[in-house]
């Protein structure tokens, strides 16, 4: 199923552009950074806290590597979703799955949701920022801010629990959650329901979730009385992931290329983001590795200087819902 969805992007890639192979060296460097940051978050920091006490300095010391590593850690999983982490298919998926376990994210569900997002970008189920007048505005606004401020990550943490429910109940819950709005709604709903009922994916979801639970249970034991600091670091990761996920599509009209936007950042920041600020290029060329996106952006007609600034645009999301007629 995943390969079928992945092969059907919203807009076609340029046929004349050869598909480059993954930059394994660049990915290895990013993997080393993300891996060390995860070890620091789950094991290194609690040992330091036990030695020096819960000082503000120790708390600040964890914020920097955890926050900086979050877009890299997710970026590596993202490359694995698109088969661009390693050259060999099974090794690519295996490493991406291990990275997802480290971030307590269900790899199969995240991969499926991401590829469906590519295929049905900004369709009704994929527009959390739009007030479509289908429910009270206050409820839609509450759902939007909850999702934006970490709720998306919390949902990803808990969605594997569906794999422990009877298949019929899991399919019903997913179908009700996704809904069937818009011309593609019934198809999207069916895809999600079928994924929730797939026996192999249910088994892997249970296995991976239990591995993540064991990993973080050990971390909570190591933190001891300082366990709230671990919760803070997890929330910071979730906040970044939730806001970064919404940002490239916030307020984007259906007729914009790729239904996504590119942003402007200094080169070193772009590297730390694994070029996710060039999200329009990714949607136009979803099978290209992250290292190829800057060249594609330079070939485009858009002047880089007119792109919105990434972090200013991130804060603009706090304005809340967009009127439904703005996206048509």
**pLDDT tens digit string along 185-202?**
899 999 999 999 999 999
Domain count, the chain: 1
Nearest to 148 by CA among 59, 240, 255: 240
In a domain, 247, yes or no: yes
Cα 160 from Cα 20, distance rounded (Å): 34
In a domain, 328, yes or no: no
Residue 259 has which token pair?
């239904």
In a domain, 222, yes or no: yes
Residue range of the domain that includes 281? 2-9+22-128+135-321
Cα 132 from Cα 322, distance rounded (Å): 9
Residue tagged 């007629």 (tokens): 325
Residue 163 has which token pair?
């794999």
Sort 220 into a burial class: Cβ within 10 Å, 0-12 / 13-18 / 19+.
middle
In a domain, 209, yes or no: yes
Q: Give the pLDDT confidence score for residue 94 in this predicted structure.
A: 97
Contact indicator for 40, 62 with CB cutoff of 8 Å: yes
Q: Give the pLDDT confidence score for residue 19 in this predicted structure.
A: 63
Contact indicator for 306, 281 with CB cutoff of 8 Å: no
Q: Give the pLDDT confidence score for residue 82 in this predicted structure.
A: 96
Contact indicator for 241, 144 with CB cutoff of 8 Å: no
Residue 308 backbone class (left: φ over 0; alpha: ψ -120 to 50; beta: rest): beta
Residue tagged 């036990």 (tokens): 50
Q: Which residues pair with 322 in a beta bridge?
A: 130
In a domain, 205, yes or no: yes
- Spans of the chain below 70 pLDDT: 1-19, 54-59, 61-62, 301-305, 324-328
In a domain, 327, yes or no: no
Q: Give the pLDDT confidence score for residue 64 in this predicted structure.
A: 78
Residue 110 has which token pair?
């995240």
DSSP assignment of 234-255: HHHHHHHHHHHHHGGGTT--TT
Cα 310 from Cα 266, distance rounded (Å): 10
In a domain, 165, yes or no: yes
């Amino acid at each position: 199923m995943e390969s079928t969805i992945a092969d059907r992007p919203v807009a076609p890639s340029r046929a004349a552009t050869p598909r480059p192979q993954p930059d394994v060296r660049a990915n290895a460097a990013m993997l080393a950074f993300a891996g060390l940051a995860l070890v620091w978050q789950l094991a290194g920091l609690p040992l330091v806290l036990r030695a020096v006490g819960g000082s503000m300095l120790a708390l600040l010391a964890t914020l920097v590597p955890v926050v900086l590593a979050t877009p890299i850690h997710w970026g590596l999983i993202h490359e694995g979703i698109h088969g661009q982490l390693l050259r060999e298919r099974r090794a690519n998926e295996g490493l991406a799955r291990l990275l997802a376990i480290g971030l307590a994210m269900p790899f199969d569900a995240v991969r499926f949701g991401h590829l469906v997002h590519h295929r049905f970008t900004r369709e009704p189920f994929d527009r959390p920022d739009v007030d479509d007048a289908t429910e009270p505005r206050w409820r839609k606004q509450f759902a939007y801010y909850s999702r934006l401020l970490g709720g998306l990550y919390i949902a990803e943490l808990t969605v594997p629990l569906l794999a422990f429910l009877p298949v019929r109940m899991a399919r019903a819950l997913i179908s009700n959650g996704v809904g069937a709005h818009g011309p593609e709604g019934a198809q999207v709903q069916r895809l999600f329901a079928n994924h929730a009922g797939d026996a192999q994916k249910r088994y892997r979801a249970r296995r991976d979730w239990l591995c993540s639970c064991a990993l973080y249970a050990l971390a909570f034991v190591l933190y001891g009385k300082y366990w709230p600091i671990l919760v803070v670091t997890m929330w910071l990761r979730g906040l970044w992931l939730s806001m970064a996920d919404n940002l490239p599509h916030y307020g984007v009209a259906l007729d914009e290329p790729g239904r996504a936007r590119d942003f402007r950042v200094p080169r070193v920041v772009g590297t730390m983001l694994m070029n996710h600020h060039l999200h329009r290029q990714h949607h136009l060329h979803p099978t290209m590795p992250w290292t190829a996106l800057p060249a594609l952006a330079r070939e485009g007609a858009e002047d880089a200087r007119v792109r919105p600034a990434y972090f200013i645009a991130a804060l603009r999301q706090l304005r809340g819902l967009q009127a439904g007629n703005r996206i048509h």
